[in-house]
C-alpha cells in the first residue's frame, strides 16, 4: 500500500482493501484513524521524494548509541542523564562528515542498467510521464494493463495487486531531467538499475566505457604444463627431482 505512485492509486487500493476485508470492521476503523486520517499520514511514495527517510530508524540508532556508549545501559538520575546527553551531543556535533551532493552510482548498477536498456523493454504511458517495465525483464508490458493502472479501473484488490506486482513503474520529470523508480530499492536509495536504464534510454545518463584489452600478436602456444603425478597416488612419498626425472624418462 505504501508503494502507490499516485494519490488516485492509493484511494482505489484503499477502497478495494476495505471491501475485501469488510468482515473486520474494528481493524479497518483502527487503520483509518491511525494511518489515514492522522497527522502522520504521509508514508506513501507519492507523498515524499526518493531517498527520504520513511521510518524512525535514525532516532532508534541514536537511542542505541546513548544506551551503549554514553550511559553504559545504566539508569541514572535525571540531572546526570541530561548532562551526559548534552556532552555526548556536543561531541557528536564536532564530527565533520562531508555531505553528499549527488547519489553515487555503483559500477555494477551501471552495467545492469546498460544490459537492461539494450533489451528495449520500456513502454511509455499515455500521460503523467510514466514509464513501465516488466518485472521479469523478458517482454514489454501490455498496453491494456498500463491503461488499466493509470485509470484505476479495478474491481477487486487481487486484480490490482496482480497488475502492480508484475511491473516496475517509473516517472520521468521533464523539469529536473531525472527519473524516479518506484521499486523498493530505487525509492529507498534514490538510484537503481531501472532508473539509470531509463535515463540511458532517454539519452540523459552516460554509458560506461568498457575497455577490452588488445589481442596479442602471433599464434597461441601449443604446449601446456605437463601433469605431474602426486607422490601419495603412486606410493612413493614426496616427489623429488630424481623421481620427476624418472617419470619423464618413462
> Could you report the per-residue pLDDT of 53-96, keeping only the tens digit for each?
556 677 888 888 888 888 888 888 888 899 988 888 888 877 76
pLDDT class for 247, splitting at 50, 70, 90? Answer: very low
Residue 140 pLDDT > 90, yes or no? yes
What's the pLDDT score for residue 157? 92
Residue 141 pLDDT > 90, yes or no? yes
Do 243 and 230 meet the contact criterion of CB atoms below 8 Å apart?
no
In angstroms, the CA 192 to CA 228 distance is 50
User: In this structure, what are the phi and psi dihedrals at residue 216, rounded to the nearest 5 degrees?
Assistant: -75, 145
Q: What percent of the chain has pLDDT over 70?
A: 75
Residue 40 pLDDT > 90, yes or no? no
pLDDT class for 196, splitting at 50, 70, 90? Answer: very high
Mean pLDDT of 204-210: 75
Tens of pLDDT, residues 90-113:
888 777 666 555 667 888 999 999
* Residue indicated by cell numbers 502492480: 164
pLDDT class for 49, splitting at 50, 70, 90? Answer: low
In angstroms, the CA 41 to CA 32 distance is 10
What's the pLDDT score for residue 233? 47
What's the pLDDT score for residue 224? 62
CA dihedral sign, ordered 198, 112, 140, 170: negative
C-alpha cell at 53: 527517510
Contacts (Cβ under 8 Å, ≥6 apart) of 160: 12, 13, 16, 154
What's the pLDDT score for residue 204? 86
CA dihedral sign, ordered 184, 187, 192, 194: positive
Q: For all residues of the chain together, what is the average pLDDT?
A: 80
Residue 230 pLDDT > 70, yes or no? no
Mean pLDDT of 170-187: 86
Amino acid at each position: 500500500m505504501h508503494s502507490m505512485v499516485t494519490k488516485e492509486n492509493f484511494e482505489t487500493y484503499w477502497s478495494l482493501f476495505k471491501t475485501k476485508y469488510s468482515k473486520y470492521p474494528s481493524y479497518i476503523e483502527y487503520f483509518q484513524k491511525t494511518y489515514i486520517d492522522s497527522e502522520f499520514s504521509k508514508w506513501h511514495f507519492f507523498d515524499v521524494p526518493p531517498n527520504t527517510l520513511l521510518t524512525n530508524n535514525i532516532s532508534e540508532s541514536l537511542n542505541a548509541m546513548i544506551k551503549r556508549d554514553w550511559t553504559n545501559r545504566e539508569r541514572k538520575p535525571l540531572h546526570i542523564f541530561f548532562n551526559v546527553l548534552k556532552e555526548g551531543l556536543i561531541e557528536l556535533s564536532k564530527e565533520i562528515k562531508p555531505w553528499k551532493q549527488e547519489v553515487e552510482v555503483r559500477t555494477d548498477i551501471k552495467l545492469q542498467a546498460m544490459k537492461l536498456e539494450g533489451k528495449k523493454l520500456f513502454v511509455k504511458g499515455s500521460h503523467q510521464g510514466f514509464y513501465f517495465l516488466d518485472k521479469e525483464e523478458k517482454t514489454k508490458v501490455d498496453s491494456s494493463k498500463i491503461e488499466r493502472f493509470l485509470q484505476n479501473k479495478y474491481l477487486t484488490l487481487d486484480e490490482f495487486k496482480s497488475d502492480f506486482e508484475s511491473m516496475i513503474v517509473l516517472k520521468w520529470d521533464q523539469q529536473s531531467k531525472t527519473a524516479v523508480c518506484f521499486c523498493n530499492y530505487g525509492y529507498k536509495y534514490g538510484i537503481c538499475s531501472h532508473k539509470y536504464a531509463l535515463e540511458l534510454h532517454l539519452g540523459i545518463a552516460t554509458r560506461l566505457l568498457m575497455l577490452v584489452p588488445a589481442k596479442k600478436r602471433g599464434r597461441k602456444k601449443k604446449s601446456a604444463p605437463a601433469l605431474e603425478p602426486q607422490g601419495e597416488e603412486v606410493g612413493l612419498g614426496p616427489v623429488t627431482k630424481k623421481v620427476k626425472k624418472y617419470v619423464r624418462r618413462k
